[in-house]
Structure 1
Amino acid sequence: MKTLAVLVLCSLAVVCLTSDASTGSQPADNPAQEGLFVEREQASTVVRQKRAAGELTLTQLESLREVCETSEPCDEMMDTQGIIAAYTHHYGPIPY
């Protein structure tokens, strides 16, 4: 009796697995249905957005400060206008 129950369960599992595989292997007519293209709103949530300068951590700000301290003009500008303005003026955009 137990053997019969195991065979029935196994046969049901095989039927379920083969029916899913046969429907998933059919090619789609529209490439958008294959997942190649997404809506702009969905893409903007997935793609990493650049963070604003105010969102830098203390460790990141210290790293910028250490780089800027090696240059005398950058160091002086940092004292008057701030680390972010001085770094972007002398070294370009913030890398993180």
Structure 2
Amino acid sequence: MKTLLLLVLCSLAVVCLATDAAQPVADNPAQDGLFVEREQASSVVRQKRAPGEYTLSQLESLREVCEANLACEDMMDTSGIIAAYTAYYGPIPY
């Protein structure tokens, strides 16, 4: 029984080593797909938005924060939400 188990394990090891040896080794690591061109990477990676381009949900969350402070709410009505939030709470976190 032990001999049969040893024979099976050895044959399994030979098969694994033979399949690894059959695969060609790449000379250039860029061919493995680890590196991409700058243009391709910039199309995949999310670009930062220009300042002042906020979504409606982001503006609504700023408005909710500003509505808790009466002075901020008054300034929001005259100067806008971004100016009021920045004046009372500092830079916008997103």
Q: TM-score, normalised by structure 1?
A: 0.53
Match of 1:85 among 83, 86, 89: 83
Q: How many percent identity over aligned positions?
A: 62
Distance (Å, rounded) in 2 between the aligned partners of 1:25 and 1:80 = 69
Segments of 5+ residues of structure 1 without an aligned counterpart are 1-20
Structure number with bigger Rg: 2
Distance (Å, rounded) in 2 between the aligned partners of 1:87 and 1:35 = 45
Change (3 A) 1:26 1:65: same
Cα drift, residue 85 of structure 1:
2.8
Segments of 5+ residues of structure 2 without an aligned counterpart are 1-18
Aligned length: 73
The answer to whether the Cα contact below 8 Å between 1:68 and 1:86 also exists between their aligned partners in 2 is yes
The answer to whether the Cα contact below 8 Å between 1:28 and 1:34 also exists between their aligned partners in 2 is yes
Highest RCO, 1 vs 2 (Cα 8 Å, sep ≥ 6): 1
Cα drift, residue 30 of structure 1:
1.6
Q: TM-score, normalised by structure 2?
A: 0.54
The CA RMSD over aligned residues, in Å, is 2.9
Equivalent residue for 1:4? none
